[in-house]
């Protein structure tokens, strides 16, 4: 259930804005997401907003999504995540429930790993995320066919 913030009173009406108890903040797309024994999140094969591939179609073993959210209350929050290709075809769906028993007001990360995923065409893939009663969030990533990665890092050795 949404939290109600302080009411703002105007001369002709009273308005109340609702703040959801869990709110989306960020998304990281990678090959896999795992929890370490010490509670740390391990992101494997992190992408920018572009997934560069050498050939299409490409069968990926999995797509890992690390979702960052702000939690303003303890409780159980339903979530759903779906990925659609540039033509609107659903590739992947996941849903479940996040049980948060920690301190209210904290930032959390939680992993969603889906797959296998068949990337068939270049273009913008839509990621739809629903957390609790909050609004549906749309993020995206591009799939681009390229022979060589566009970003290269050159290490310089000290003298």
In a domain, 150, yes or no: no
Q: Which residue would you say has higher pLDDT here, 139 or 10?
A: 139
pLDDT of residue 34: 92
Average pLDDT over residues 45-73: 95
User: Using 50, 70 and 90 to split pLDDT, how confident is the model at 141?
Assistant: very high
Instruction: Report yes or no on 38 lying in a domain.
Output: yes
11 belongs to a structural domain? no
Domain membership flag for residue 9? no
Give first-to-last CA distance, the chain, whole Å: 60
Give the integer Cα–Cα distance in Å for 5 and 21.
11
Q: Which segment of 6-15, 70-79, 139-148 scores lowest on mean pLDDT?
A: 6-15
Question: What does pLDDT average to over the chain?
Answer: 87
- pLDDT at position 42 is 95
Q: Predicted confidence band at 6 (pLDDT cuts at 50, 70, 90)?
A: very low
DSSP 17: -
Residue 157 lies in a domain: no
Q: Is residue 5 part of a domain?
A: no
- The tally of domains found in the chain comes to 1
Which pLDDT tens digit goes with each residue over 70-110?
999 999 999 999 999 999 999 999 999 999 999 999 999 99
Tell me, what's the pLDDT at 7?
Answer: 33
pLDDT interval class at 146 (50, 70, 90): confident
Range of the domain at 93: 20-145
**Tens digit of each residue's pLDDT (9 = 90 or more) over 18-37:** 778 999 999 999 999 998 88
CATH number of the domain encompassing residue 73: 2.60.40.2550
Residue 40 lies in a domain: yes
The DSSP line for 26-84 is EEEEEEEEEE-TTS-EEEEEE--SEEEESSSSEEES-EEEEEEEEE-S-EEEEEEEEEE
Q: Is 88 a member of any domain?
A: yes
């Amino acid at each position: 259930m949404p939290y109600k913030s302080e009411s703002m009173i105007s001369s002709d009406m009273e308005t109340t804005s609702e703040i959801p108890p869990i709110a989306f903040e960020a998304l990281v797309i990678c090959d896999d997401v795992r929890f370490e024994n010490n509670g740390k999140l391990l992101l494997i094969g992190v992408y920018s907003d572009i997934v560069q591939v050498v050939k299409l179609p490409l069968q990926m073993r999995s797509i890992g999504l690390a979702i960052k959210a702000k939690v303003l209350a303890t409780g159980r929050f339903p979530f759903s995540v779906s990925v659609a290709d540039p033509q609107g075809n659903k590739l992947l769906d996941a849903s479940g429930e996040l049980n948060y028993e920690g301190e209210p007001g904290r930032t959390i990360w939680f992993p969603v790993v889906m797959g296998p995923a068949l990337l068939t065409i270049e273009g913008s893939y839509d990621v739809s995320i629903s957390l609790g009663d909050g609004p549906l969030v749309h993020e995206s990533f591009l799939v681009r066919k390229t022979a060589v990665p566009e970003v290269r890092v050159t290490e310089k050795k000290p003298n």
